[in-house]
Amino acid sequence: LTQLFRPLDMLGWVYRTVQQGLIDMAEMFRLIDTPIEVADLPGAPALVVRDAGIVFDNVHFGYDPDRMILHGLNFTVEPGERIAIVGPSGAGKSTLARLLFRFYDPQAGRILISGADIRTVTQASVRAAIGIVPQDSVLFNDTIGYNIAYGRAAATPAEVTAAAMGAAIDGFIERLPQGYHTQVGERGLKLSGGEKQRVAIARTLLKNPPIILFDEATSALDSRTEQNILTTMRQVAEHRTTLTIAHRLSTIVDADRILVLDQGVLVETGSHAQLLRQAGLYAEMWSRQSVEQADHAAV
Ligand code: ATP
């Protein structure tokens, strides 16, 4: 009988592990139905991040090889640089981020982190090096403290509090009747979009990764909340390499460099001022968004 149950046990374990993995993935990019397509090479070592530089070297990728999405992306991100990735809907911004996190391998070209081709090291070590602040975090039906510590279960209460401070959500939590023990999620306290994003920032701070991927919320938070989140993100970004997938250009004007993607091609690169002077796609998107914002403000 035990023989019979062992496979079932194993299946349960695999199921739980996969499910946990999927929660992480869904949290990132709403990827819940994404198949797991990549595997570690036998004996692959862990990635050692000496410097958090990133290279996309002639990366070609399509979810389906008959429909390529990224057409030979080339760019280098220096350690500590703050990069924004912008472009029209469907340009390939999230796809680029998924490749960096190694959900998929490119059909051609290479992605390097700290000089290592990410196909030659373990996926777990690649994912450990990258912290993600998704646009809409999944909260577990558990305490807010658990939700912050998720991903580093061994964190001490003092570390959880420090992370909450770093994400500027400590005051909010301390004012809750049960503090860090307050239940959140569907069956508990509902958090606003901004508060959820702060929980995600706190989680990322606990993880303390050298690279951060910030997926800006598509729907605007109210402008004060957004400004506060951006200020927090700027602090978090210090001494780290950060990539922000941005929808509102007003939030990334001070990025070190902006990569403009269009239909899977990197069409422009530069600072906000440089790109405005180029009078290309970025300048066009900027003037369109400025008009929209003015219209919005006039309502
Ligand atoms: P948005 O700003 O609208 O989020 P994006 O620039 O992030 O867009 P991607 O999500 O990377 O764009 O999508 C690029 C292209 O890849 C789109 O044409 C999309 O249809 C396609 N695509 C995205 N995800 C998948 C997937 N899981 N399977 C197949 N095709 C996909």
User: Hey, whose CA ends up nearest to atom 1 of ligand 1?
Assistant: 89
User: Hey, whose CA ends up nearest to atom 11 of ligand 1?
Assistant: 92
User: Hey, whose CA ends up nearest to atom 9 of ligand 1?
Assistant: 92
Amino acid making up residue 149: A
CA neighbours within 13 Å on the CB side: how many for 149?
Answer: 16
Please state whether beta strands 257-262 and 265-270 pair in parallel, antiparallel, or not at all (unpaired).
Answer: antiparallel
Show Cβ contacts of residue 104 under 8 Å, excluding neighbours closer than 6 positions: 37, 38, 61, 63, 98
Range name among 23-32, 147-156, 275-284 with the lowest pLDDT average: 23-32
At residue 102 the predicted structure's pLDDT band, cuts being 50, 70 and 90, is very high
| Nearest atom (ligand 1) to Cα of 34 | 27
Residue 299: what pLDDT?
56
Q: Which of 31, 34, 93 to mutate to test the pocket of ligand 1 (most atoms within 8 A of CB)?
A: 93
Q: Are 161 and 149 in contact (CB under 8 A)?
A: no
Each residue's pLDDT tens digit, 232-282: 888 888 889 999 999 889 889 999 999 999 999 999 999 999 999 999 999
Residue 16, pLDDT > 70, answer no
Q: Note the pTM of the prediction, 2 decimals.
A: 0.83
| Nearest atom (ligand 1) to Cα of 64 | 29
Rounded to 10 deg, the angle between the 157-166 and 193-207 helix axes is 120
Cα–Cα distance measured from residue 39 to residue 32, given in angstroms and rounded to the nearest whole number = 18
At residue 221 the predicted structure's pLDDT band, cuts being 50, 70 and 90, is low
Q: Which of 32, 69, 252 to mutate to test the pocket of ligand 1 (most atoms within 8 A of CB)?
A: 69
pLDDT: which is higher, 153 or 170: 170
| Nearest atom (ligand 1) to Cα of 95 | 11
Highest mean pLDDT pick, 181-185, 207-211, 260-264 = 260-264
Residue 67, pLDDT > 70, answer yes
19 CA distance to ligand 1 middle (Å): 23
Tell me the DSSP string of 61-112. E-SBTTB--EEEEEEEE-TT-EEEEE-STTSSHHHHHHHHTTSS--SEEEEE
What average pLDDT does range 160-174 have in this prediction?
92
User: Hey, whose CA ends up nearest to atom 25 of ligand 1?
Assistant: 63
* Ligand 1 binding residues, C-beta < 6 A: 34, 63, 69, 87, 89-95
88 CA distance to ligand 1 middle (Å): 11
Residue 23, pLDDT > 50, answer no
Q: Give the H/E segment covering residue 15.
A: helix 2-29
